[in-house]
Amino acid sequence: MANDTKIAVFGGGCFWCTEAVFQNLKGVNEVMSGYSGGHTGKSTYEEVSSGTTGHAEVIRVTFDPEQISYENLLDVFFGTHDPTTLNRQGADSGTQYRSIILYADDNQKQIAEDYIKKLTDEKVFSSPIVTEIEPLTEFFEAEDYHRNYYKNNPGKSYCQVVIDPKVSKLRQKFSHLLKG
């Protein structure tokens, strides 16, 4: 693992889905599910699920920028969830499932803003992008049972019905970014 690893934090609906997608990328050293973007301190899954904390379900991606760029991560982020649905991804609804980028520095903020502008200018989506771009202030790790959920529970119906199609889409659209 390189000494100059970076972090990126994304929320694209259920963190089980985004974790499963980003774990497959070369240059990604760790994906941690958690909560961020809210107005309360450390919160539990139950509290975040209530919608009262303001936190979103997010993932913290630790990556080696020599192997995968932040722009590549944005490609995957926008290519594997719907950034046009407000506070919803599929059947999951509520502010905890909003599309959000929590930037670690001004460079990430600028890249994310430019990326969304490009997608908008090119009319990649038929509806406006509602992805929030906010500074990363705190990240709270999710409870242990959420970690590696897809890898640990491939037979569960949620994994088969919701996560499997996202991972398949990743493999089709982003094969050049996958681990060997």
**Based on the structure, what is the number of domains in the chain?**
1
Quick check: is 148 in a domain? yes
Q: What pLDDT shows up at residue 91?
A: 87
Q: Nearest 5°: CA angle at 73, between 80 and 152?
A: 60
Active-site hit among 9, 12, 13, 14: 14
Residue 69 has what DSSP assignment?
-
Whether residue 1 is contained in a domain is answered as no
Q: Is 17 a catalytic residue?
A: no
86-103 burial, b for 16+ CB within 10 Å, e for fewer?
Answer: ebbbbebeebbbbbbbbb
Name the pairing type of β-strands 132-135 and 99-103: parallel
CATH number assigned to the domain comprising residue 11: 3.30.1060.10
**126-137 pLDDT, tens digit each:** 999 999 999 999
Q: How far does Cα 179 stand from its chain's mean position?
A: 18
Whole-angstrom Cα distance, residue 69 to residue 63? 8
* Cα–Cα dist 123/100, whole Å: 20
Which mean pLDDT values do the consecutive 10-residue runs of the chain (180 residues) have? 83 96 98 96 94 96 98 98 94 95 98 98 97 97 96 95 95 95
Does the residue 67 lie in any domain? yes
Instruction: Decide if 180 is inside a domain.
Output: no
Query: What is d(CA 178, CA 10) in angstroms, rounded to the nearest whole number?
Result: 18
Strands 88-89 and 99-103: unpaired
Q: Within a domain: residue 17?
A: yes
CB-based burial of residue 81 (10 Å sphere; 0-12 exposed, 13-18 middle, 19+ buried)? buried
Q: Is residue 100 part of a domain?
A: yes
Give pTM, 2 decimals: 0.95
CA-CA-CA-CA torsion for 160, 161, 164, 168, nearest 10 degrees?
A: 140
Domain residues for the domain of 153 are: 6-174
Let me know if residue 32 belongs to a domain.
Answer: yes
Question: Does residue 167 form part of some domain?
Answer: yes
> Of the candidates 72, 78, 55, 74, which has an alpha carbon nearest to the alpha carbon of residue 130?
78
